[in-house]
Amino acid sequence: MIITVASNKGGVGKSTSAVHVAAFFSARGPTLLIDGDLNRSALQWAKPGKLPFEVCDIDEGVMLSRKYEHVIIDTPARPTAAELAKLAKGCDLLIVPSTPDALSIGPLLEMCKQLKGRNYKILLTLIPPKPNQSGADARKAIAKAKLPLFETGIRRLECFKKAALAGVPVADVKGDSMAGIAASCYQKVGEEILSND
């Protein structure tokens, strides 16, 4: 399976999603994460050598990808809608992470019009805890626009930052009582991907 993670905005949990989707697939077969982002977050995450999958840059990716059953691609920030449509064409699924705040959802819906007919799914990320309603509001707006959305949303949890710093998937973060819940968010995303396959 080839899965691309891309978004029209930076800081929306793209690299975090790529790492955890790769962690999910690595339990099912050899998995490669190609870090196509210039800020190299995924390569940085992999540096301590504790991730259960290989991470490489885009140049190595061309050569290495044939050897892997699953390839996850983290992409450069801010592609245009046309570039996103092209990205979606080349993979089995394009995951478009977005934060749920109202200021992000408007441009997201606009951009998704260009992705019509493509195999993509929006993933709400960094969802703030209740009583904040932005997660629920974003879900309604996306449903109203009849756009594909993961049923699972990713909660905003500090342990995701700890995971990046420690160079591990969030499931392996020690001493944080929310790590299991954080890991289960992406576990469900992985299961949704497989159930649609």
Of 126 and 139, CB closest to Mg ion:
126
Name which position in 7, 8, 15, 104 contacts Mg ion (CB under 5 A): 15
d(CA 165, CA 168): 8
- Residue position matching structure tokens 């009849």: 146
Task: Measure Cα distances from 36 to 10, 31, 57, 64 in Å.
Answer: 13, 16, 6, 14
d(CA 132, CA 43): 33
Task: Measure Cα distances from 149 to 27, 87, 139, 171 in Å.
Answer: 24, 18, 8, 24
For ligand ADP, which stretch binds (CB under 6 A), given 25-33, 82-90, 135-143, 160-168? Answer: 160-168
Name which position in 2, 40, 41, 92 contacts ligand ADP (CB under 6 A): 41
Task: Measure Cα distances from 53 to 21, 25, 43, 70, 126 in Å.
Answer: 11, 9, 11, 10, 24
What residues from 13 to 32 belong to the interface with ligand ADP (CB under 6 A)?
Answer: 13-16
75 near Mg ion, judged by CB under 5 A = no
35 near Mg ion, judged by CB under 5 A = no
Choose the contact partner of 187 out of Mg ion, ligand ADP, none; CB within 5 to 8 A by kind: none
157 near ligand ADP, judged by CB under 6 A = yes
Choose the contact partner of 164 out of ligand ADP, Mg ion, none; CB within 5 to 8 A by kind: ligand ADP
For ligand ADP, which stretch binds (CB under 6 A), given 22-30, 60-68, 81-89, 153-161? Answer: 153-161
Q: Which two tokens stand for residue 171?
A: 């499931």
User: Positive or negative CA dihedral for 51, 54, 56, 58?
Assistant: negative
Residue whose Cβ sits closest to ligand ADP: 14
Interface ranges with ligand ADP (CB under 6 A): 10-16, 41, 125-126, 154, 156-157, 160-161, 164
